[in-house]
């Protein structure tokens, strides 16, 4: 059973607008959340993360919001650029300090930013 | 900068063959992982290792095995390749308290 869910397989946004990618999780033990971006024929690259002790983390155009009570997080990209077109994966782990470091991934959302 | 290197970008093998996928990282990371990525299914964990000679099953270990004889190298083995193992295979490594770093993947086709 999937513990991390990305219910929108695709999202299309005009350049300059905001992109909002959503992610839900079921395991209340998750305490660290990450977003990865993946271009075709490349490996995923780490984008931004958030610990469960925070509800927001910002890095340039990228902001991640965490709502623990709803078990929901979202990635906001403002303003969106054509180079942001990629598959975005949400991931979660239980125990950031764990030596195992196992991540649970969602199925991904294909973001397309058009001019 | 972290470098995770997968030995082949593209590989074509035949059913029944024993297939080896190699992954090397140059940052002395303890943890290493093997995933496969399939359309609509995201990244699924096959096996991971938290130290030399240690291994743990992920979510889909059937038909695969792994080897970690040296800290920098983590090998994925398809014991007898089948067509349903055609996929993109991704290796990752991570040090403690840091996100995983991925290689560029191996596109494996089993004919």
Instruction: For residue B85, give the nearest of B109, B105, B61, B65 by alpha carbon.
Output: B109
Token readout for B67 is 């080897």
Are B42 and A108 in contact (CB < 8 Å)?
A: yes
Which residue matches tokens 């919001």? Answer: A65
A49-63, pLDDT tens digit by residue? 999 999 999 999 999
Residue A69 to residues A66, B45, B68: CA-CA distances in angstroms?
9, 27, 40
Residue A41 to residues B63, B66, B103: CA-CA distances in angstroms?
24, 24, 11
Q: With an 8 Å Cβ cutoff, is B34 touching chain A?
A: no
pLDDT mean by block of 10 residues, chain A; 115 residues = 92 98 95 94 93 94 97 98 97 70 91 97
Rounded (5°) CA angle A66-A39-A20: 30
Mutate to test the interface with A, among B23, B100, B105, B106 (most CBs of A within 10 A): B100
B5-32, pLDDT tens digit by residue? 998 999 999 999 999 999 999 888 889 9
């Amino acid at each position: 059973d999937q513990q991390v869910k990305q219910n929108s397989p695709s999202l299309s946004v005009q350049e300059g607008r905001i992109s909002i990618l959503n992610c839900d999780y079921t395991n209340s033990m998750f305490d660290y959340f990450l977003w990865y971006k993946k271009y075709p024929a490349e490996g995923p690259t780490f984008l931004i993360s958030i610990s469960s002790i925070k509800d927001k983390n910002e890095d340039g155009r990228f902001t991640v919001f965490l709502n623990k009570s709803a078990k929901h997080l979202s990635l906001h990209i403002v303003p969106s650029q054509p180079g942001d077109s990629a598959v975005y994966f949400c991931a979660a782990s239980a125990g950031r300090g764990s030596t195992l470091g196992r991540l649970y991934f969602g199925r991904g959302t294909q973001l397309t930013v058009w001019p | 900068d972290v470098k995770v290197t997968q030995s082949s970008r593209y590989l074509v093998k035949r059913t029944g063959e024993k297939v080896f996928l190699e992954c090397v990282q140059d940052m002395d990371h303890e943890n290493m992982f093997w995933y496969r990525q399939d359309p609509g299914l995201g990244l699924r964990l096959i096996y991971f290792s938290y130290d030399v000679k240690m291994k743990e099953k992920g979510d889909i270990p059937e038909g695969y095995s792994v080897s970690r004889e040296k800290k920098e190298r983590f090998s994925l083995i398809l014991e007898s390749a089948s067509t349903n193992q055609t996929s993109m295979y991704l290796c990752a490594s991570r040090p403690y308290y840091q996100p995983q770093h991925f290689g560029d993947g191996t596109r494996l086709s089993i004919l």
